[in-house]
C-alpha cells in the first residue's frame, strides 16, 4: 500500500475561514435539485426562524473537501490523487449552515487500512465557526486504488 498508514490518528490545523454566501448556496441547491425556498429566499428563511438562507445538508462537502485536500496534498501521506475514488460521505449537522457563516474545519485522519490491495482512508472534518460553535461533522472515506 502506497498510503502512509502512520497517518491514522493525525490531525491538521484549522483551515482558513470559508465565507458562506447566499449566491453559492443557491447555485449548490440548484445543482443538487433542492427546491425549498429556504435555500433561495431570505424572507422565507427568516419566516422559518433563520437569519438568512440555509444550505442543503450536503453543502457541507464544499468546506469538508477543503479540509481533505490538506491530506491529499501532503506528500508524506503517499496519496496518488489520480488513483482516488470517493467511497462514502456522511454528515452530522449540529445546526444548519446559513449564508453569512464563516466556517473553519479541522481534519482528523480516523483510519488508514488496506483492503484487497487498496487503501481505505477515513477522515473526519469538524466544521465550526471561528468562535468554536460546532456546525457539522463530515466523515469521508476515499479508496486509493492499488497497483495494476
Q: What is the mean pLDDT of residues 100-119?
A: 95
Q: What is the mean pLDDT of the chain?
A: 95
pLDDT at residue 25 in the model: 98
Q: What sign for the dihedral angle of Cα 70, 75, 78, 81?
A: positive
pLDDT of residue 148: 59
Instruction: Note the pTM of the prediction, 2 decimals.
Output: 0.92
**Are 140 and 84 contacting, i.e. CB atoms less than 8 angstroms apart?**
no
pLDDT at 1 over 70: no
Amino acid at each position: 500500500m502506497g498510503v502512509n498508514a502512520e497517518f491514522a490518528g493525525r490531525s491538521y490545523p484549522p483551515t482558513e475561514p470559508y465565507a458562506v454566501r447566499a449566491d453559492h448556496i443557491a447555485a449548490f441547491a440548484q445543482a443538487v435539485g433542492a427546491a425549498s425556498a429556504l435555500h433561495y429566499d431570505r424572507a422565507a428563511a427568516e419566516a422559518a426562524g433563520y437569519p438568512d438562507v440555509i444550505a442543503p445538508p450536503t453543502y457541507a462537502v464544499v468546506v469538508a473537501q477543503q479540509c481533505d485536500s490538506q491530506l491529499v496534498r501532503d506528500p508524506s501521506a503517499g496519496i496518488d490523487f489520480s488513483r482516488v475514488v470517493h467511497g462514502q460521505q456522511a454528515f452530522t449537522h449540529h445546526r444548519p449552515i446559513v449564508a453569512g457563516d464563516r466556517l473553519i474545519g479541522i481534519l482528523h485522519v480516523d483510519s488508514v487500512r488496506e483492503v484487497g490491495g487498496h487503501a481505505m482512508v477515513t477522515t473526519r472534518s469538524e466544521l465550526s465557526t471561528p468562535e468554536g460553535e460546532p456546525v457539522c461533522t463530515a466523515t469521508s472515506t476515499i479508496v486509493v486504488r492499488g497497483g495494476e
